[in-house]
A and B are shown apart, each in its own frame.
Chain A
Amino acid sequence: MIDKSTFWIVLPALALGTYAIRFSFLGTLGTRPLPGWLTRSLRYTAVAVLPALVAPGVLWPPATGGETDPARLAAALVTLAVGVVTRSTMAAILAGGVTLYALLATLG
């Protein structure tokens, strides 16, 4: 369960911060180019943050009390593999979901 006081701090700060990011250059028309090291790092933000966000939960799911669950682990690996091969987010979600439900149903 989410702590509501954290939520009410995060909500306005995240909304303003996200808007500031979007407005940054479009709004101020900053004409100076970004330094090279910065553009380089920005390119990798999504692949750096998202896997770290999910990896521990994939291996040690809170829903099973932290015990590795073959169905969830297999579903994660299938999602990743299908996403890499098809380059389609939707196909990867579908494949992962089908794997998860099929294994949960058969393994119990």
Chain B
Amino acid sequence: MTPVRKAFVRGLIAALPMTIVVGPFALLFGVVATEAGLNLFETMLFSISVFAGASQFAALQTMQENAPALVVLATSLAVNLRMVMYSVTLAPHFGSLPLRSRALMAYFLVDQSFATTVAEIDRRPEMTAMEKRAVFFGAVVAVAPLWFLACLVGGMIGKAIPPEYALDFALPITFLAMVAPMLRSVPHLAAAGVSILLSLLLAGLPWGTGLLIAAGCAMATGAVLDRWIEARG
């Protein structure tokens, strides 16, 4: 096997455990989207064109609350801002590759492909850019087809699930489950605390604007505390 092919297999294998979360998450998206009134075509178009689970859920939720398009966009794009960091981190490793290669990688830049690639580069820093790209796409092959397929299945079974199953609450539970493991430092905890408190206090504001104010203040709280702790050394 060539080194590039070996790298591809390493990426694929390293990302396999992540399918345990990706599959059910995508299934849930398909179900929730069709319950919210999207048809199968719209659900799939959404998943294929945006391809970012958390922000797709955020968009669904705010659209269901009849927020105006601008608020929906601000909220869901804010969820994706972490990917700027991913893009910054990966850029120096792939500069020698052609633009079309990097443009394709950008589409597939998700939590799983990023985490796998960074971990593997950390383990084998001597890899060439082509090997690193192969690791990246190995991870993509492990999670992306599953994401689309599970979305499709979820979209097809969505309408068949009766309200007694309390699927309205699948979304809050999923988001809380995503946030909880991130609460690993004082600034993270403080940001989450401000986020919850202000969103409850401002819940009466129209069109989800309370959410935007709460999220903005929470982000600032995290950043300010982060800086303060770092300055104290």
Contact = CB atoms under 8 A, between A and B. Distances in A.
Contacts of B178: 46, 50, 83, 89
Contacts of A37: 223, 227
Contacts of B183: 47, 84
Contacts of B107: 19, 22
Interface residues of B, number: 95
B192 interface: yes
Given A3-B63, A26-B106, A10 B176 contact: no
A29 B177 CA distance: 34
Residue with the highest number of chain B CB atoms closer than 10 Å, among A17, A18, A39, A61: A18
Contacts of A22: 83, 86-87, 106-107, 109
* Residue of B99, B169, B192, B194 most packed against chain A (CB within 10 A): B169
B80 to A, nearest CB: 5
Given A10-B73, A49-B215, A41 B220 contact: yes
Nearest to B164: A104
A30 to B, nearest CB: 7
A90 B226 contact: no
B98 to A, nearest CB: 11
A3 B42 CA distance: 13
A93 B20 CA distance: 12
A44 to B, nearest CB: 3
B176 A54 contact: yes
Interface in B72-86: 72-73, 75-86
Interface in B201-233: 203, 210-211, 214-216, 218-223, 226-227
Contacts of A17: 73, 77, 80
Given A27-B106, A41-B220, A59 B200 contact: yes
B206 to A, nearest CB: 13
A89 to B, nearest CB: 5
Contact of B181 (A4, A11, A56, A87): A87
Interface residues of A, number: 75
Given A1-B36, A22-B109, A50-B79, A104 B222 contact: no
B106 A2 contact: no
Contacts of B42: 7, 11
Given A22-B86, A47-B192, A83-B181, A40 B227 contact: yes
Contacts of A56: 199-200, 203, 210
Given A3-B63, A15-B49, A47-B183, A76 B191 contact: no
Interface of B: 20-21, 24, 36-38, 42, 45-46, 49-52, 54-55, 58-64, 66, 68-69, 72-73, 75-88, 90-91, 94-95, 99, 102-103, 105-107, 109, 163, 166, 168-184, 187-188, 191-192, 194-196, 198-200, 203, 210-211, 214-216, 218-223, 226-227
